[in-house]
């Protein structure tokens, strides 16, 4: 298993409670696949440096987890299709 960091930016018109619930759902998906979440950090609503999808701000959250690459592919696909997500990025953390 490798360590990954997932950053998600949700739409600003959502309520903060709804965003936290969606992040918890992502964490549950990771846990149900047999992987483990080591850290979850909710940054709240932040202003963008430039406009993305006609939005100037969004809710940021970062989830660090250990998993196989197959889960990363599934998460990437699911978050790409989610209407509430503006952007997301999965980065593998090198443990050197």
Task: Please compute the mean of the pLDDT values over residues 40-61 and round it to a whole number.
Answer: 92
- CA–CA separation, 89 vs 96, rounded Å? 21
Q: Give this prediction's pTM.
A: 0.88
Q: What is the pLDDT of residue 26?
A: 92
Instruction: Please say if the pLDDT value at position 96 is more than 80.
Output: no
- CA–CA separation, 46 vs 61, rounded Å? 10
- CA–CA separation, 26 vs 41, rounded Å? 13
Q: In the chain, helix, strand, coil percent, each to 5?
A: 30, 50, 20
Task: Please compute the mean of the pLDDT values over residues 36-50 and round it to a whole number.
Answer: 92
């Amino acid at each position: 298993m490798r360590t990954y960091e997932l950053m998600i930016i949700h739409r600003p018109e959502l309520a903060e409670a709804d965003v936290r619930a969606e992040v918890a759902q992502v964490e549950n998906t990771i846990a149900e696949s047999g992987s483990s979440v080591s850290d979850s950090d909710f940054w709240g609503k932040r202003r963008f440096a430039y406009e993305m999808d006609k939005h100037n701000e969004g809710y940021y959250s970062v989830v660090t987890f250990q998993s196989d690459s197959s889960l990363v592919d599934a998460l990437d696909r699911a978050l790409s299709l989610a209407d509430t997500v503006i952007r997301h990025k999965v980065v593998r953390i090198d443990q050197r």
